[in-house]
Structure 1
Amino acid sequence: MAVTQFRDFLQKRSLDIKVIESDSSTHTAQQAADVHSVPVSNIVKSLLCTDGEVFYMILTPGDKRLDLEMWAKNLGLSDFRMANPDEVKKMTGYSIGGVPPFGHLNAIKIYIENGFNPEEKLVAAAGSSNAVFEISFTDLNEIVNLLNSEVDHEE
């Protein structure tokens, strides 16, 4: 069902992105890299974080660990943590392991961490633990910037 939600988002936005479904799980970054024959650094991990009130989506290369302290400092927050599975589902409409970088149920400010190779294709979840899509770093950045401008406009 969540893959349908993501496809609906793509269609509504006229984004030419193809969802690739497989019989193999892509729940973890390593699994996704193995199934789609890309380096784990090319996997986009979509990690939802919160200060308890506001939610932030941080896109991290699959081979990196999220530095919560650094992000808290950069965002000027004293309390910053990973969202729990219930919060992830409520805010994004997706379960952990299938959260795409965009197409969420609620408007969420999105940040892209350094470390992605802008010359290589990236692979990101597309709504479930066995669905992904490929995207260039440039296209990912453009979509994120557009969506963030809409979030900023709503505030």
Structure 2
Amino acid sequence: MSAQDSVAHPRFAEALRALGLDVEVRRFPDATRTAAEAAAAIGCDISEIVKSLVFEADGVPVIVLMDGSSRVDVERVRQELGAEKVKRAGAELVRETTGYAIGGVPPFGHVRRTRVLADRALLDHDVVWAAAGTPHTVFPLDPKTLIGHAGGALVDVRERTA
């Protein structure tokens, strides 16, 4: 059993194996449910954290990968998808769609194949950090590889700052 197997969520460890990815999964004693908590624990900039957020677009789950310093512009997501209504998914739908609890959702390795939108700002970094299936675990990966494994479409869906 490798170190990643002992700390990553078992489903996510299996996803890493299936993809042939050998990444360092780090476990923290305190939960890193928020981007700010994760960045502080890792010692990186908050924008290097990848948030895997689940939304409902006309009742259909969609995952948005967003950097930790930005917020998703729901209207931009709606336009991108051509949906009538987009809203944040509740905890039950998040777990049903991904197999993980809010605060630990990784960018890939979900129980259901789900459409993924990846905000282009993630490409501003050489390495980004994402949850490894639990609120206590994270892993680093270059953003192009991460988005590729997530099957993410590159979009601009973050809120614009004034």
The normalised TM-score by structure 2 is: 0.84
1:44 to 1:33, Cα distance in 2 relative to 1, 3 A: same
Q: How far did 1:2 drift?
A: 7.2
- Aligned partners of 2:44 and 2:8: how far apart in 1? 24
- 1:53 aligned to which of 35, 59, 62: 59
In the alignment of these two chains, the number of paired residues is 147
Counterpart of 2:56, as a letter, is T
Q: Are 1:95 and 2:101 matched, yes or no? A: yes
* Structure 1 runs, 4 residues or longer, greater than 6 Å off: none
- Aligned partners of 2:69 and 2:100: how far apart in 1? 22
Equivalent in the alignment of 1:126: 132
Q: Is this contact kept in 2: 1:2–1:93, CA < 8 A?
A: no
Q: What is the percentage of aligned positions where both structures have the same residue?
A: 31
Question: Structure 1 unaligned runs (5+)?
Answer: 149-155
Q: Is this contact kept in 1: 2:58–2:84, CA < 8 A?
A: no
Q: Which moved more, 1:118-127 or 1:40-49?
A: 118-127
Counterpart of 1:120, as a letter, is D
- Aligned partners of 1:138 and 1:51: how far apart in 2? 25
Counterpart of 2:69, as a letter, is D
- Aligned partners of 1:51 and 1:139: how far apart in 2? 26
Counterpart of 1:86, as a letter, is E
Counterpart of 2:64, as a letter, is I
Q: Are 1:141 and 2:147 matched, yes or no? A: yes
- Aligned partners of 1:58 and 1:98: how far apart in 2? 14
1:58-73 aligned within 5 A = 58-73=64-79
Counterpart of 2:128, as a letter, is L
Q: Per-residue CA shift, 1:1-43, capped at 9, x if unaligned? A: 9711100111122222222111122110000000000100000
- 2:86 aligned to which of 80, 103, 127: 80
Q: How far did 1:121 drift?
A: 1.3
Equivalent in the alignment of 2:34: 28
Question: Structure 2 unaligned runs (5+)?
Answer: 1-6, 154-162
- 2:45 aligned to which of 31, 35, 39: 39
Q: How far did 1:99 drift?
A: 0.2
